[in-house]
Structure 1
Amino acid sequence: MRKITLEPRQEDSLIAAAGLLAGVVLTAFDAYDHTGVPPGVNLVPLAAMSGLELLRRTRPWWTVGLGALLFTANVLAGSNMATVVMYTDLLYAATLYGSRRMATVLHLSGAGVTVVLSSLVLWYGSVGQALLVAGFAGLVFIAPVWTADILREHRDRADTERLRAEQTALLAELDRREAVVAERSRMARELHDVVANHLSAIAIHATGAQSLARRQQRPSDDPLLAAMAVIRENSVQGLAEMRRMIGLLREEDQGSYEAPRLDALDSLLTHARATGGDGGLVFELSEDGERGELPAPVELAAYRIVQESLTNALKHAAPGTVRLSVAYRPEQLEIVADSPYRDGGRPAAPGAKAGLVGMGERAGLLGGSLEAGPVSGPDGGRWQVRAVLPREPKGEEGS
């Protein structure tokens, strides 16, 4: 069942209308003290009191002061219970929405009025009448103020606890971010001190080997020189990527870091052809559909999957044609890398199959899928990697 919520002004208007309607009904059925008073006179303070209900939140001093005068006029014009109840609501609202000073004044004035009225009745009447007047005055002048004061205390305490909880959550978030920054800095140091240094050493030794080969006057088409050039180029490129990653982890200049895009597929193919040409590998690229605008996480994942697929083909494929196809569908992006399958072959290197695991994780984080394995084809066994990525990420990476 849907809960109906009212704005403060609507709530005040509803209270005023309900009080006015209740007073009119009581007057119509003579349910008021009309001894010696012409009929309908009590409707004047009733209507004025209902008008003050519209200002119960915004003008507490005025409503309480004028309400006291109207309450006195109501007693003299024939006490109407609806007018009395609306005045108690004005006292309640003034304590709840007014200042602390006003709440104190209302407590003292309510107690004073109760004491004065009961004392006068006790002086001119009996003890029983004084007790009745004290009880009635307490219900009118003290009970609503006391109730609103208790409610205000609970509300202020709830606000304080809520603020404390928000501060605790903020401190926890700051601690978490500090821990993440510290871990990223540690990872950046490890990458710089270990991996980047090794890649730098590889590039230096490859350059030295090239210099040595030139001093030995080896021919320009010597396979050794081509291999050293490929090693140096790959190590330098890997070192540049590693340095960009280190800068990203250290958050030194994230604005200058530009993630790889699918526009660079041609450069990946050019590099793969230069590297795998001596091994008898031929690379072909086909694209289908309109690329359009792709979210950055999807484009980065697609680029890395293509890059890893080409690297695996260079490492493990038999001589032949490596076909890479990228299909841009309305709701998804499909990548298929098909290479000649080498059955048995080379022993597994340390970290083998880690690339497939990484590609699967990238696809899974976006809500996509990845399949890799041998397939049969018209020209013999093939190894195929097929990744399907949604255009709108649905997994953890997208959120």
Structure 2
Amino acid sequence: MSRKEAVTRWSWAVDAVIALALTAGVVVGDLNRSYMEVQREPAGSATPAPVGIPGPPLPPPVPPSLPPSDAPHGVPHGVPAVEHTLPPVEPWELAAAVLTAMPLLLRRRHPLATYWTVMGATLLLHQGDVAADATTVTFASGLIAAYSAAVHSPRRKTVAASLLAGVVLYAAFPLAPEVDRGLVPLLVLLPIGLATHGIHTWRQRAQALQEEQQAALRLAVDQERSRIARELHDVVTHNVSMMTIQAGAARKVLDAAPDQAREAMLAVEAAGRSAMSELRHVMGLLTMAADGPDPATDVGLAPQPGLDQLAELVDRVRATGVPVHLTVRGTRAELPAGVDLAAYRVAQEALTNTGKHAAGASVSITVEYAPGELRMEVADTGGVPQPSAGSGSGSGLVGLRERLAVYGGTLHAGRRPAGGYRVRAVIPVEEP
């Protein structure tokens, strides 16, 4: 059994005990239909002695008509008291009494419904003759229901309005018990304790939510790193394959055509340098990644796409009905295979997000070959999100940032002031 399941079972057990105890308390208290009212001597009945002149001692209080052996429990002997008897309990009163406490069993799952059920039942119960002990218990149930609504309900405005309405009900109707001076500290400390516990619970829930979000983000980053590593492995494998082919061709023509052999060996040298560069990126990426499946398994030998295939990608997107305008600035340079792949993925991810979250928008793609770096910008004019798109987890942009970080690049994404969304990427490129 997990810790979360144990906490849930413990919470259910506590709520069940609270609900049953308060239900029993209000029913038993309401069934006790007789109570004693202590008679206090009316003000002004005794003539005070003049100031500064000691008067005669006051006579002792008049004892009640009951003998000492028949004095009611809780009333000191010698104190005048009158016994009151309420009418018999009606069935609807018992049902209302049960509803003032039993709904607390669901106070965590349905806090607002529980609160209003308890308040409504309390108001209904006090339309009849209610014993003082029952009023005390219903007041405690109302406090617990209000606390549960404030802590467990996500509808903050509705909760605030409900609690304010509850205060008005308690002020307008006799729902609160008569407070003895000895109960004042309890009534002060109880709300403080409940509020402290609520703040502690809220902090625990916020911390747990933050930890879950961080764990989900780490998982997304690790998965994206593994995917990038597999793609970079494809690039390295392709370069090594080309080196093998070129070396074999150079060996065959070495004696007959030395110039062709020299060109083949130069191609082998270039492919080897590119493969070593990409291999360093792969090893750095795997060092950053957490434990997981081997990213070098189940891969093919086909090269990954690059900016030379960006026009084909744009044509495919246009065929779906999305207006896309492609602009290339600067002199096209030969890019390392990994950088070329990263730039292509930026455009691909941005176009995918536009199709999901901005249906009907037009897109502009700008590729600029600047001295020492490659700049890309994909911007859309904004549109209507697709029903199946949802809010998005952001893992695609996280993956792009991880991919560009391998080459020292940066990615900035956000909404445009005039509407729409913009993705900007800058990737350093070593000049030949």
TM-score over 0.5 for the pair: no
TM-score by length of 2: 0.34
- Of Structure 1 and Structure 2, the greater helix share is in 1
Higher relative contact order (CA 8 A, sep 6+): 2
Bigger Rg, structure 1 or 2: 1
What TM-score comes out, normalization by structure 1 length? 0.37
